[in-house]
Amino acid sequence: KAGAQGVVICANSMHTIYDRIAAAIAIPVIHIADVVGDKMQADGIKSAALVGTRNVMTEKFYRQRLVSRGVSLMPPDMELADRIDTIVYDTLMLGKSTREAERYMKSELTDIAKAQVQAVVLACTELEMIVDVRANVLPIYDSTSIHANAALDFILSE
């Protein structure tokens, strides 16, 4: 009613309710996994690791959208998911980051690179606080930046 012409849900985890939101309104909702998957598909990425909070890494609402674009995903690492949940909910959401968390993520991303995947999807808006998306062994598909750019493209196309 305020005149919005589109909606952006600015959190990976909250896309779990995307279908309910999209069904309740008559304007487009830009799904974060769709735009990440589209970019990966355009770049020819066929295999990746999905890294984020537990629900993003394990539930189908995110994974299926990447797979539908031809991206094969590593099975979720439950130990990594648990540790990310702790880092995100106990530290990053409070606006704090630690060297320990940075080192842990760098080590995990290095281990993921050994798994013969082409890229990593950084599917948690807070993880950018402890992961340098430009300095890693593998290309990092930063969902936050990709989603923001898709929203900007949508706005500028109007």
Question: Is the pTM here over 0.85, yes or no?
Answer: yes
In total, the chain counts a number of residues equal to 158
**CA–CA distance, 108 with 70 (Å, rounded to integer):** 24
**CA–CA distance, 120 with 129 (Å, rounded to integer):** 16
The helix (run of H) or strand (run of E) holding residue 19 is helix 18-24
* Token pair in block for residue 120: 């990593």
Per-residue model confidence as pLDDT tens for the chain (158 residues): 889 999 999 999 999 999 999 999 999 999 999 999 999 999 999 999 999 999 999 999 999 999 999 999 999 999 999 999 999 999 999 999 999 999 999 999 999 999 989 999 999 999 999 999 887 789 999 999 999 999 999 999 96
Q: How many helices (H) and strands (E) does the chain have?
A: 7, 6
**CA–CA distance, 65 with 54 (Å, rounded to integer):** 17
Buried b (16+ CB within 10 A) or exposed e, 113-149: beeebbbbbbbbbbbbbbbeeeebebbbbbbbbbbbe
Contact 103, 80 (CB under 8 A): no
Output phi, psi for 29, to 5 deg. -120, 120
